[in-house]
Chain A
């Protein structure tokens, strides 16, 4: 964070594509804490009432056509918070519209081909592209980088996400308008369920996991289960690293979101806050050489980290993520999601 430069510029103007809970509970409260850096100037949603409602406190324009938002000269940065299926197309359009930067929620595409098309559009238009992967920007993770780089020969990584329903934490962040209805009952197709769950939930931590996997490593899903009450249990190898992914939701008890990395040379334990709620950063404990270091929790969270990164990149104080890394992260996630779906299809095992 380059605090000095953040006091000498006019705020960056943000246009939101989609005005649902992610915009309302995550980004709007975050931007409200940075009024000197950002201002919302345009909100697009297919629901006119919702777009108007989210825009009103900012005295921002609203529209029901994304073309209006992309044509608005008062929008510097486009934040894409629409359903996953629209991300790639809208990100490409935002790049082609000549915006200064694009923030797109994860996953930024649903196929590898789409991801590459987004990267091409960003490269050709020289548009900084950011993915809303808040754990990658979480200070409790970012500041552990040097310490975790000492973990050699990682053998096992475990991601475990146990969460009450999302609205619990949305309500701790804001008062959500027009909350979408959750579809009743599980999907009939467990291969779709697990693919959606991995690309919607596990994807938060997959880029963090990939950091410990040698480049070019093949993904091999050994086991995949859909838990009947909601969630998944997936075991895979990524090159020499064994990865165990678990999620269970909704649960009645408290949330638990952890990432554990084990190596003969040491171990790492990160505890993340739930999504939506603005509860400060994660905390990461790294044990190596017989001692441990604890990073966090800090007051800023990963959402603020995303926006600070955008500010820094647009003001010459930082660089946007490498497009190849973004594509590789997504390719890793899709390989796991597709592998898990294929494993489910071959076993059709849904555990009680």
Chain B
């Protein structure tokens, strides 16, 4: 591995059995700063089994990685959180007419990067077929859109001095409301997933697990596998780049 960010180093250090000595050299990390796709493509030419793009990759072209989707894991804020699987099953089974996303970003951070991270999450949860940005500044963001199955999307975001980054999704219908809250991705604070109906309010079990650890587990799995493992990360990244390109 190349030199790791402290966050990535912490994730790997917390997986000492998964990342036994023999595996470490077979998984490379690439910083998500500008030019990350080129660096990842170059790194893949040195024959690692998998690449983890860390530090929340900035929005940029990934053309240099076409055909390498099965080798690239993007360590994004929430998309690899294990709660995503349960939430996705519930949200995709619903026919609620509106899905809301609100993103809180810490003051001083790039709001748009947090919005993009949340869109990567939303893409996993319900999909994003269209997005129209209505207003955006360094402090706020509002968009409307649509899911692939025709549900309305509402996306808002704001920067405040009071929050870690967090993403809040709510799907509201006439028979139920599904809510899932993802908190500061640098912590293991568990997401809160609930289903509210006429008869009951069910809080689903979630895990004290970070998305980063899951991303690194996935990279290890790729490295150990003899066959290509389908990865959603790059395709999802490209999809959301189309909806939310850099100006």
Give A residues with C-beta under 8 Å from B: 153, 155-156, 158, 160, 162, 222-223, 225, 227-229, 231, 233, 235, 237, 242, 244, 246, 248, 250-254, 256, 260, 262-267, 287-290, 292, 351-352
Contacts and interface: CB of A to CB of B under 8 A. Distances in A.
B173 interface: yes
Given A155-B139, A233-B98, A253-B197, A244 B159 contact: no
B135 A225 contact: no
Given A156-B142, A262-B140, A267-B163, 5 more contacts: A262-B139, A262-B159, A262-B160, A266-B161, A351-B98
A244 B152 CA distance: 15
A343 to B, nearest CB: 11
B100 A292 contact: no
B150 interface: yes
A248 B98 CA distance: 9
26 contacts: A155-B159, A158-B156, A162-B177, A223-B144, A227-B98, A233-B152, A235-B144, A246-B98, A246-B154, A248-B172, A251-B174, A251-B177, A252-B173, A252-B197, A253-B172, A253-B196, A253-B198, A262-B104, A266-B162, A267-B158, A267-B162, A287-B162, A289-B161, A292-B162, A351-B97, A351-B152
B158 A253 contact: no
Given A225-B152, A352-B150, A242 B135 contact: yes
A11 to B, nearest CB: 41
A352 B97 contact: yes
Scoring A253, A254, A265 by chain B CB atoms within 10 A of each residue's CB, the highest score goes to: A253
B177 A253 contact: yes
Given A235-B135, A244-B156, A254 B196 contact: yes
B176 interface: yes
Contacts of A260: 102
A85 B154 CA distance: 32
Top 6 nearest A-B pairs by Cβ distance?
Answer: A253-B196, A262-B158, A287-B162, A155-B139, A253-B177, A155-B140
Contacts of A225: 144, 152
Contacts of B159: 155, 262, 264
- Of B132, B144, B150, B151, which is in contact with the most chain A CB atoms at under 10 Å from its CB? B144
A156 B156 contact: yes
Interface of B: 97-98, 100, 102, 104, 107, 132, 134-135, 137, 139-140, 142, 144, 150-152, 154, 156-163, 172-177, 196-198, 201
Contacts of A223: 132, 134, 144
Contacts of B139: 153, 155-156, 262-264
Contacts of B104: 262
A248 B198 CA distance: 15
B47 to A, nearest CB: 47
B115 to A, nearest CB: 12
Given A158-B102, A264-B107, A351-B97, A252 B142 contact: no
Nearest to B134: A222
B174 A229 contact: yes
Kindly name the residue among A153, A160, A228, A251 whose own CB sees the greatest number of chain B CB atoms within 10 A: A251
Nearest to A351: B152
A252 B152 contact: no
A250 B142 contact: no
Contacts of A266: 160-162
Contact of A155 (B134, B137, B177, B197): B137
Contacts of B196: 253-254
A222 B174 contact: no
Contact of B144 (A158, A233, A254, A290): A233
A193 B142 CA distance: 23
Contacts of B176: 252-253
A269 to B, nearest CB: 10
B154 A251 contact: no
A290 B142 CA distance: 25
A235 B159 CA distance: 18
Given A252-B197, A254-B196, A227 B97 contact: yes
Contacts of A351: 97-98, 152
A157 B102 CA distance: 12
Contacts of A256: 177
A228 B174 CA distance: 11
Contacts of B198: 252-253
A69 to B, nearest CB: 40
B140 A162 contact: no
B205 to A, nearest CB: 19
A237 B104 CA distance: 20
Contacts of A248: 98, 172
A222 B135 contact: yes
Given A156-B140, A251-B174, A235 B160 contact: no
A25 B54 CA distance: 57
Contact of A235 (B97, B142, B173, B201): B142
A260 B157 CA distance: 11
B107 A252 contact: no
A283 to B, nearest CB: 17
A254 B199 CA distance: 10
Contacts of B163: 267
A235 B140 CA distance: 13
A351 B154 CA distance: 12
Contacts of B144: 223, 225, 233, 235
A265 B159 CA distance: 9
